[in-house]
Amino acid sequence: MEKDNRVQLQWDELQQFLSSEKIEAFRDDFLEMHPYDQAMFFIEQPESIRLQIYNFLSPEETADIMENIEMEDIEAYFTEMDPRYAAMVFAEMSTDDAVDILNEMEKDKVVSFLTIMDEEASDEIKELLHYEEKTAGSIMTTEFVAIYQTQTVKETMQLLKKEAPEAETIYYLYVLDEDKHLVGVLSLRDLIIANDDVLIEEIMSEKIVSVSVAEDQEDIAQMMRDYDFLALPVVDFQHHLLGIITVDDILDVMDEEASDDYSKLAGVSDVDRTNDSALISAKKRLPWLIILLFLGMLTASLIGRFEETLNKVAVLAIFIPLIAGMAGNTGTQALAVAVRGLATGEYGKQGKWKLIMREGLTGLITGTVCGIVITGVIYLWKGEIFLGILVGLSIMATLIVATLAGSLVPLVMDKFHIDPAVASGPFITTINDIISILIYFGMATAFMSFLI
């Protein structure tokens, strides 16, 4: 990690306090730092120093650090803690953050921590643990401020002072009726400027945007982006308020979804991490590589079927990598545009048809230009005009088909509720290799008389 001189000096000083066991001096300097900076210092330390830090900090102070560490690295830190101390750290964390970490752990570890934890914190965590991963229920927090529409502004302010320290956010107050249905929302600003004796129902907004507890987290991220919300209420099918999703949770979701899509576009089951061993990295990459290996064999068998054509005009083999490479490149470009558009929600029903028409026209233009260029190059190089025309026409047809395939495949996958990112770069490249070989050798076989 890159550090400036000031930060390095601060870190050196903290390490000296730790080595000399000056607890108060360490706590004074360390706790003045932002929790993110504390986390960066913490993860750079060896296990022996981290164990010492646990002894110097309370569970609440350690919880602040844990909430600023990447999810994939955090389980190891809880495993190295004393189990009772770890359970207390979980109890001090935001419920949704604690649930996210526990969801990544083995079931026996989760049960162990929940058993040791105090009953109130354990019950809150258990309430969220049963929700399916990557849904609103799994990322929401139950630490919010709910008020009733029959309360006055004065009563609400008193309640807010009492509950604000434990709430995830107080920028929005959620208004319930006597049956605990969500009926309105009130901003902190509107509450502050209202008169003390005014009823909440008179100043609340009834235009509520909420999400179902089973809503997919990617759709929620899209909604938060569209509406510029800092928090979003989560309700059940009867519109009872269950929790809220805050913008910091959505930033984590966006990072997670981007990593997930990137790994699929790269043709791996999960993004390799720097601390993964060679064996783990190979395990993540092999499934796609095996699939692509068999698809590659299909390409090889197709070339074998045109062996007679190759024997008659051996020079055709020179241009196989050129045509296959061009098909893969243009297909990947179209794929990236389509997947991005689907991920950001840019395409409605009409937008998808517009995308297909645009990509088809793009393929026609790029294919025509590249075809003309390669025809001229081959004529100047080999002095064979018919060979140049064949390769040029093949390039033009291949680029049109490959561009359409690159945009259509993710759209079809999305139609059948399959993640469009599964149409990964290596996958679409291999498919387009097959298409380009069929076009190239099909045309060569058809116009053989002009080549011999």
Q: Is residue 217 part of a domain?
A: yes
CA distance 129 to 137: 9
Q: Is residue 141 part of a domain?
A: no
Q: Can you give the pLDDT at residue 14? A: 92
Q: Average pLDDT, whole number, for the chain?
A: 84
- 170/302 same-domain check: no
- 161/49 same-domain check: no
Q: Is residue 297 part of a domain?
A: yes
Please name the helix (run of DSSP H) or strand (run of DSSP E) that holds residue 82, with its range, or none: none
Count of domains in the chain?
A: 3
pLDDT(4) > 80: no
Measured CA distances, 274 to 73, 255, 271 (Å)? 11, 17, 10
Coil, strand or helix: which one is 416? Answer: coil
Q: Is 35 exposed, middle or buried (0-12, 13-18, 19+ CB in 10 A)?
A: middle
Q: Is residue 106 part of a domain?
A: yes
| Greater pLDDT, 303 or 118 | 118
pLDDT(1) > 50: no
Question: What tokens does 127 get?
Answer: 């309430």
Domain extent for 406: 278-451
pLDDT(273) > 60: no
- 288/249 same-domain check: no
- 155/124 same-domain check: no
Q: Assign residue 191 the CATH number of its domain.
A: 3.10.580.10
- 433/319 same-domain check: yes
Q: Is residue 139 part of a domain?
A: no
Q: Is residue 273 part of a domain?
A: no
- 343/381 same-domain check: yes
pLDDT(60) > 90: yes
